Structure 1
């Protein structure tokens, strides 16, 4: 999988920078509540992800909604998402027009109340 092709160079750079900044802060009160950098989705399902960072192991962190009514925060394997194929060979896509307007915690709180990501 080509991360630059999927995420875009600017978004990938920001995700990596956020991950580097967050690494020493994990588990502390100083942990950052970043605005999501991008939105990924599966065009044939309600699968949606809002990502804030990528860690040194290549795992992304963000809010995931697989369409079961229980959006959750956690680590996401972009390789696993990329492996999912839909009708006609469709794969995960990036919403190039979406821009975050608030920190991830607010999207998570609203999503838990609604049962889905509304972004």
Structure 2
């Protein structure tokens, strides 16, 4: 599966740079054979391999940071050799700060409505 469509790439480029650090994620990438998940908010138009978002390798320590598109595209999951997938049905309902706050509390990226609302409340009060 192609991780970036032209429309997604344009949205990611449009979000760069985001001085607030709170763009709404445009893209969710996941490992179909494991727990790794990435919520990507933007891409550097001058270096399209450079993505930024919430990265969760499934080890209990999700963090905001960068990832290379080429690295994501090169991942092959044993034993079947599957690559990473783009969630075709993903639509973000919060900015990345809310997802990051909820992920820190849960130890993984979560889409639990109660946890996200609690994180949104906490982010709004900061």
Work out whether residues 3 and 73 of structure 2, in 8 Å CA contact, stay in contact via their aligned partners in 1.
no
- What 5-or-longer segments of structure 1 have no aligned partner? 26-30
Q: Which of 104, 108, 114 is 2:106 aligned to?
A: 114
Given candidates 24, 28, 34, the residue that maps to 2:23 is: 34
Gaps of 5+ in 2: 112-126
User: Equivalent residues in 2 for 1:9-28 (5 A)?
Assistant: 9-19=6-16, 21-22=17-18, 25=19
**Alpha-carbon offset, residue 32 of structure 1:** 4.2
1:82 counterpart (51, 56, 73) = 73
Q: What count of residue pairs does the alignment treat as equivalent?
A: 108
Q: Which one of the candidate residues 53, 67, 83 is aligned to 2:42?
A: 53
Structure with the higher helix share, 1 or 2? 1
Q: TM-score, normalised by structure 2?
A: 0.80
Measured after TM superposition, the shift of residue 9 of structure 1 is: 1.8
Displaced runs of 4+ in structure 1, greater than 2 A? none
**Contact 2:21–2:97 under 8 Å retained in 1:** no
Distance 1:32 1:64 in 2: 15
3-state SS of paired residue (2:47) = coil
Q: Which moved more, 1:95-104 or 1:10-19?
A: 10-19
**Separation of aligned partners in 1, 2:110 and 2:31:** 15
